[in-house]
Structure 1
Amino acid sequence: MRRGDVRSVAPSVIPIQTTGTRPAIFGVHVLGAGCSYYRPLAQRLGPAQPIYGLSAQFAMPPGRKPSVEEYARLYVEDLRRFQPRGPYFLLAVSLGGLTALEMARLLVDAGEEVAMVGMLDAIGPMPIEWVSPVERARRHVEKLALGGTGYVREKIVARVERERDAMRSRMLRWRRAVGAPLQDEDAHLQAALENIELALEFKPKPYEGDVVVFRATEDVYYTPRFHHEARLGWREAVFGAVQIVDVPGDHLTLLQEPHVIAVADEMRWRIDTWIAQHGDRDRRSGVIARPLLDSGQALSEERLSRVSSGPPR
């Protein structure tokens, strides 16, 4: 299917990397400006791995704010027009995780195979247990001792960016309140604010399958109990296993170089594992070829040990 044909058949499907015959990865809802969140991952996975985005947020008419459930239904409809059969590999950044979870539930209810629901540092719907101010201060002291002036510069830049975003958020809310026209650079900030509102309103129905959470290990703001017992907030919404894979970077950098290498390696291994077990199935014809993985791609106990699954529900 040519690039132009994709959008005519399934308007919310956005091509990111269209080459390759491996099972496609679908990024859900939160893609970044120009799909910027997923482009480093596409480059690391290489031209053999197709990646598409699913986003309709900017196509909605002014004042129209669909729910998470409505977005999920729309994406599933377009996804099945574009790829009528599974396997479906869903991947979601942050607040897109709730939409991906609802999509997976709808696909499974329709009898489709969801091979993976991946969450990129996405926190589930359970209330967050925040790290205490004392613990945060202790961590800053440790990082200062290790990073020196470089750590100080990094924190200053981060603080300036947060203040800038807060100022833009206040200005955006004022424009919305008085009906003033929005500037182009406000579009993604408005989308982010709307996603927060949608997440607060969403009450997920339990998903019977498994979920993989790629957990950023820098600047962690929640308690160990929220991590291990609440499974990063997904325990009550997921009845299967919640696997937690630790990756370098923080919430904003885990998909940037060089941290994205770890995410790409994990995604490549999981798709290789599916191919080894099921064959490289063509999305439309159903033809299956069963390639053998070489020793470098074989499943390993070492890789399995890096994945924290938690008890199935």
Structure 2
Amino acid sequence: MGGNSLLAVRLFAEIERKFAKQLRSQGQEVAFLALLDTCRPGYRQRLSFLQRISLHINHIVQRGPKYFYKKARGWSKQAKYQIEKVYKSYFQNFSQIIKTISKPSKTNKYLDISNTNTQALNNYVFQPYSGKATLLRTRDENRTESIGVKYDLQFGWGEIITGELDIKYIPGSHLSLLDEPNVKLLAKQIKICIEKAQN
């Protein structure tokens, strides 16, 4: 039988990669390590205003009304996602403030922990991983915010994965890859990758 198979969804990619590295250091095989549409911080860049206008005009000429419909649908999903994210964030922060106010003695401790977490995130240095990995990523043109954003082909993982980094394109956008019918196609792709890795 093959080794362990690990799949990270979005933000958990670094935790998964560290776990795989730990397994390998213990002599265990990691047959399949996959990063699911996960971009390392700093590996997307917003294009200039003129470049973005040029891209929009080009897409309007090529696709006509379909382009507007697709963008409107994407903007709608993105707006819903952002509103939910902001709502959850405000609710969590408000709850924490209420808890902190009701227990003033814990205020300094909470601020210390928050500052320590922020500092750790800012100072974090990604360590190399010498095994194989597969990046399952959506195409840039399917990413809701992709017009006007340039992504590194390997989403920044090429500098960290020192073994082989295989890139597989998956259907949908970052927000829809786990929705039907995209999730079925994604599951099929993952199954193929795992079977290939274990043989």
Residue matched to 1:106:
22
Tell me which of 203, 219, 233 is aligned to 2:156. Answer: 233
2:47 paired residue among 125, 132, 135: 132
Q: 2:192 aligns with which of 245, 269, 280?
A: 269
Distance 1:153 1:253, change over 3 A: closer
In the alignment, the residues of structure 1 paired with residue 71 and residue 64 of structure 2 have an alpha-carbon distance, to the nearest angstrom, of 6
TM-score under structure 2 normalisation?
Answer: 0.71
Quick one: which of 175, 186, 200 aligns to 2:95?
175
- 1:176, 1:96 → 2: CA distance? 24
Question: What's the CA shift for 1:247?
Answer: 1.0
Cα displacement (A) at 1:261: 2.9
Residue aligned with 1:223, SS: strand
Q: Are positions 1:92 and 2:19 aligned together?
A: no
Q: Distance in 1 between matches of 2:80 and 2:190?
A: 33
Change (3 A) 1:202 1:256: farther
Q: Which structure shows the higher helix fraction?
A: 2
Shift of 1:201: 5.6
Amino acid at match of 1:249: G
Q: How far off its partner does 1:176 sit?
A: 1.8
Distance 2:188 2:28 in 1: 26
Equivalent-residue separation in structure 2 for 1:201 and 1:131 (angstroms):
24
Aligned to 2:130: 208
Q: 1 or 2 for the larger relative contact order (CA 8 Å, sep ≥6)?
A: 2
> Does the Cα contact within 8 Å between 2:32 and 2:197 map onto a contact in 1?
no
Output the amino acid matched with 2:156: G
* Unpaired stretches in structure 1, ≥5 consecutive residues: 1-22, 24-85, 182-195, 278-313
Q: Tell me the residue number matched to 2:36.
A: 120
How many angstroms does 1:136 deviate by? 4.8
Identical residues among aligned pairs (%): 22
Residues 13-92 of structure 1: pairs in structure 2 closer than 5 A: 87-92=3-8
Q: Quote the Cα distance in structure 1 between the aligned partners of 2:90 and 2:138.
A: 28
Give per-residue Cα distances to partners, 1:291-311, cap 9 Å, x unaligned.
xxxxxxxxxxxxxxxxxxxxx
Paired AA for residue 129 in structure 1: R
Q: Deviations over 1:6-27 (max 9, x none)?
A: xxxxxxxxxxxxxxxxx7xxxx
Structure 1 Cα separation of the partners of residues 64 and 81 of structure 2 = 20
- Counterpart-to-counterpart distance in 1, 2:47 and 2:131: 33
CA distance in 2, matches of 1:199, 1:122: 17
Q: Output the aligned Cα RMSD.
A: 3.0
Q: 1:201 to 1:169 in 2, by over 3 A?
A: farther
The 1:164–1:201 alpha-carbon spacing in structure 2 relative to 1, beyond 3 Å, is same
Please give the TM-score of this superposition, normalised by the length of structure 1.
0.48
Measure, in 2, the Cα distance between the counterparts of 1:99 and 1:199.
Answer: 13
| Divergent runs of 4+, >6 A | none
| Structure 2 unaligned blocks of 5 or more | 102-116
Q: Give CA deviations for 1:236-287 in whole Å, capped at 9, x if unaligned.
A: 2211122111111111211221112332222221222244x3xxxxxxxxxx
**Paired residues of 1:91 and 1:100 also in contact (CA < 8 A):** yes
Question: Residue type of the partner of 1:163?
Answer: I
**CA drift at 1:132:** 1.6
